[in-house]
Structures are given as structure tokens and as C-alpha cells.
Amino acid sequence: MKNTISIFIIVLLSLGTVHSQELQCNVQISSPGMSETDREILRTLQSSIHEFMNQQNWTDYQFEPEERIEASILITVNEKVGSDEYRGTIQVQSRRPIFQTSYSSPVINHNDRDFTFRYVENQPLEYADNTFSSNLTAVLAFYAYVIIGFDFDTFSPMGGTPYFEKAQEIVNLAQNAPERGWKSFEGQRNRYWLMENIFNSQYSNVRQALYHYHRLGFDRMTESMDNARGEVVNAIEMLQRVHRQRPGSFLMSIIMTTKGDELVNLFSEAPSMEQNQVVQILSEIDPSNSARYRRITQGDS
């Protein structure tokens, strides 16, 4: 009888861990121009990446199924550069639900154009902290931690720091990797510089703004739309202060790419004085998209 009870408890515990994973990540691989053989290999890889992202335990927290972070990864393979080596891009997106609504707000939307990886069909995807085993799993783990870090930042001030530190560890380990995207001298908008911006104190208001924007703003819209929208204005004023100190930052460009359309939709229904204020700020910090922000005052969202 004791053995039966022990087995039952073990089964319950094992079932409980099924729901402890943090991510609910949709994975797609697009391979235009690839041969049918390569497409079949990449379909196998797509399934393996889905399992890698969704069944790995990335934190010590126990997530309920409904608490898992909604994310998506789109890998576009543009060319085959070796017998088992591919080159392309990886686009990473995540979103988080808004309290007492059916709406999910985008948190990150980033297209990484420096993505080269090796893969042999049915090769297991293995990852361990403090080890750089392959560029494929390093990039995937890096973005898993980035997704989680940004998500935690929206729920508590700088709450994502432990997960950004994990992402930074991967960048450090990758400094001797032959693949691009990890090193400071390879460009100003890669994984190295994303982490540099995240941990640079001059950009700390960007991360603080994520908390004001989501937790104090969007999450309270069912209580008071005016007050919540005011917190979103506070958040973009924080972004403005960062822009004036360090214009054109990589981190800021990711935030504006992610949030631009949402901001247009939100403030299209705001009072005209608030609309004018917001359009002025957004056009200053994201001038290349100023025409989009002018739609706020034109009633065409």
C-alpha cells in the first residue's frame, strides 16, 4: 500500500512539472528557395525548436498553463552555406495579457538578421548554462531569456534582471564563436548591443517605462481609462528623456517597433490636447515613423 501511495505521489509531482514551463511559443520556419530535402529537414527542426522552447525550464518559478508567456519565433532560412549550415533571420515576438480584458499587448518584436546555424536532421537540441554547445541553441536560449526578462519587467520595476543576466552570460560565452551577432565590433544592433543597452544605466528609464506602461497603465484601463492613459504618457515621457540623452539607441528602436501601432490605437480616442502632446513626443523619439503618429490626430488609426 505504501508503495502504491508513493508511486501515486510521484506521478502527481511529475504531472505538476508539465505545467511549470514558462513559454507558450509558436515556432515557424520559412525556407523559400530551399530544396524539398532541406525543407523536410527544416520541418523536423521546427518541431525540435518548438519542444526546446516550450518544454525547457528557464526559471525557478512554477507557471500555471494560463500564466505561460505567449511568444512566437519565425525563422526565415535564406540560403544553405554548407552541407549542414544555414543562414537567415530569426524574428522574436512576445505579448502579455492585459488585466480583466481579452487583449494582449505586444512586449517585444525584434528581427535578428545575423542568424547562422548548423543542423543535422534529428540532431537533439541540447543546452546547458555556462556552456556554448552550438550557435543554434545559444541563440534560442538567449531569446528565451530576453522574452522572459522583458515580460517580468512589465510586472515589476526591473523585474527581468535575473533573466537578462542569463542572456548576458550567453553573450559572454559566445565571444569566441565564429558566427556573427555576438560581438561589439560586428555592428551596433546585435545581441551584444541589446544586452549593453539593457544593462547601461543611461537606458534604465526604458525598462522602468515598461512597468509604467503595462502595470500602471494598460492593466488599469478597466478602472479608469483617463488615469491609465496618463500613466502611458508618463512612460513615453520617460522614453523621451532617454532619447534626449542617447538618441538612436538599439533598445529604443525595438520598443518603438513593438509599440508604435498600439500607441496610435490607444491615443486616437484621447482628448485633443493629450493627442498633440503624444504625437510631439513620439515624433521626436521615432522620427522615421512620424507620419504614423500623425494618424492619432487625424482619426485614422
The answer to whether the Cα torsion of 109, 115, 118, 120 is positive or negative is: positive
Residue 14 resides in a domain:
no
The count of domains in the chain is 2
- Angstrom distance (rounded) from CA 46 to CA 44: 5
Residue 53 resides in a domain:
yes
Residue 205 resides in a domain:
no
Residues 171 and 232 in one domain: no
Residues 224 and 145 in one domain: no
Instruction: Flag the least confident range among 32-41, 48-57, 152-161, 292-301.
Output: 292-301
Task: With CA atoms as reference, report the closest residue to 217 among 270, 292, 164.
Answer: 270
Residue 111 has pLDDT above 70, yes or no: yes
**pLDDT computed for residue 299 by the predictor:** 67
Residue 100 resides in a domain:
yes
- Angstrom distance (rounded) from CA 295 to CA 290: 9
- Tens of pLDDT along 264-278? 999 999 999 999 999
- Tens of pLDDT along 141-159? 999 999 999 999 999 999 9
Residues 157 and 246 in one domain: no
Question: What whole-number percentage of the chain has pLDDT above 70?
Answer: 92
Residues 168 and 243 in one domain: no
Residues 53 and 190 in one domain: yes
Domain that holds residue 264: 216-295
- Angstrom distance (rounded) from CA 213 to CA 153: 10
Residues 54 and 160 in one domain: yes
Residues 286 and 181 in one domain: no
Residues 221 and 82 in one domain: no
**pLDDT-based confidence at residue 194 (cuts at 50, 70, 90):** very high
The last residue of one of the domains, among 147, 165, 199, is 199
Residues 144 and 283 in one domain: no
The answer to whether the Cα torsion of 234, 238, 240, 244 is positive or negative is: positive
Burial of 246 (0-12, 13-18, 19+ CB in 10 A): middle
Residues 153 and 285 in one domain: no
Backbone φ and ψ of 28, nearest 5°: -135, 140
**pLDDT computed for residue 122 by the predictor:** 93
Residue 7 resides in a domain:
no
Residue 294 has pLDDT above 70, yes or no: yes
- Tens of pLDDT along 224-259? 999 999 999 999 999 999 999 999 999 999 999 999
- Angstrom distance (rounded) from CA 244 to CA 285: 8
- Angstrom distance (rounded) from CA 42 to CA 134: 17
- Angstrom distance (rounded) from CA 27 to CA 49: 7
pLDDT mean over 282-286: 97
Record the cell numbers describing residue 105, joined without a space.
Answer: 499587448
Record the cell numbers describing residue 26, joined without a space.
Answer: 509558436
Residue 138 has pLDDT above 60, yes or no: yes
Residues 32 and 104 in one domain: yes
How distant, in Å, are the alpha carbons of 26, 154, 301 from that of 65?
Answer: 15, 19, 34
Cβ atoms of 86 and 46 within 8 Å: the answer is: no
Residue 175 resides in a domain:
yes
Residues 94 and 39 in one domain: yes
What is the length of the chain? Answer: 301
What rounded mean pLDDT belongs to the chain? Answer: 92
pLDDT mean over 72-90: 96
Cβ atoms of 130 and 165 within 8 Å: the answer is: no
Cβ atoms of 45 and 9 within 8 Å: the answer is: no
Residue 204 resides in a domain:
no
**pLDDT computed for residue 8 by the predictor:** 36
- Tens of pLDDT along 5-49? 443 333 333 344 444 589 999 999 999 989 999 999 999 999 999
Cβ atoms of 175 and 182 within 8 Å: the answer is: yes
Q: How many CB atoms lie within 10 A of CB 49?
A: 23
Residue 3 resides in a domain:
no
